[in-house]
Structure 1
Amino acid sequence: MLIKDLQNCKAFVAGDNAVLRELLHPDKEEVKFRYSLAHAVVKQGETSHRHTLKHAEVYYILEGKGIMYIDHESVEVRPGQAIYIPPHAIQCIRNVGQDDLKFLCIVEPAWRQEDEKVL
């Protein structure tokens, strides 16, 4: 059985400037799936850097309020919403709430630094 505790996952600042903690990644754990799962935080008043990924991604909003930008569209997002981000889409998310914006990032196949381009 594999159980990962968020508090025991090392935090790091990703290329898009969000604070990430990787929960599950097939290159780092003995798991039989191709996706990666990370917990992300964008601090109050901040915006992640515009970037693209080679593969599709899903954000699942846990806490806070933000505006999601994908290519030429933007929409307000809130807890309980899942956002599909197509491969190669220009994306960023802005925290417009009073607290940290927290969300899960699911990338399939698993996120790799060489698949991301910060604009």
Structure 2
Amino acid sequence: MFIKDLKNCKEFIAGDNAILRELLHPDKEEINLRYSLAHAVVKQGETSSRHKLKYSEVYYILEGKGIMYIDHESVEVHSGQAIYIPPNAIQCIKNIGHSDLKFLCIVEPAWRPEDEEVL
């Protein structure tokens, strides 16, 4: 059995300027996964940097609301929604709420620095 507590995950600033904590990554734990799972936070009034990944990504909004930008589209998002981001799509998310915007990031295959380009 493998259990990892969010409060025990080291917090760092990701390339897109979101506050990130990696929960599951097959390169960092002895787990048999093809994807990575991270917890992200964008502070009130802030926007993550525009970036794109070589592979698809899913955001699952836990708390707050924002505007999700994918290529030339934008839509308001809120807790309880899952957002599919296609491979190579230019993306960012803006927090438009009155508190932190918190969401999970799922990347398959697992996220690697060489697969991301910050614009």
* Cα offset, 1:31, TM superposition: 1.1
Unpaired runs of 5+ residues, structure 2, are none
CA distance in 2, matches of 1:10, 1:46: 21
* Structure 2 partner of 1:68: 68
In 1, the alpha carbon distance for the partners of 2:26 and 2:55 equals 16
Output one character per residue of 1:17-44: Cα deviation in whole Å (capped at 9) or x when no partner: 0000000000011111110000000000
Q: Quote the residue 1:84 is aligned against.
A: 84
What letter is aligned with 1:36?
S
1:42 counterpart residue number: 42
CA RMSD of aligned residues (A): 0.4
> 1:30 and 1:15 mapped to 2: Cα distance?
25
| Alpha-carbon distance in structure 1 between the residues aligned to 2:90 and 2:37 | 20
Which residue is 1:112 aligned to?
112
**What is the Cα deviation at residue 63 of structure 1?**
0.1
Deviations 1:73-102, CA, capped at 9 Å, x for gaps: 000000000000000000000000000000
Alignment of 1:47-62 (within 5 A): 47-62=47-62
TM-score if structure 1 supplies the norm length?
A: 0.99
2:111 aligned partner, one-letter code: W
The answer to whether residue 93 in structure 2 is matched with residue 93 in structure 1 is yes
Matched residue count: 119
Q: Please list the CA deviations of residues 56-83 of structure 1 after superposition, one character each: whole Å capped at 9, or x if unmatched.
A: 0000000000000000000000000000
Instruction: Supply the distance in 1 between the matched residues of 2:96 and 2:113 (Cα, whole angstroms).
Output: 27
SS at match of 1:3: coil
Structure 1 spans left out of the alignment, 5+ residues = none
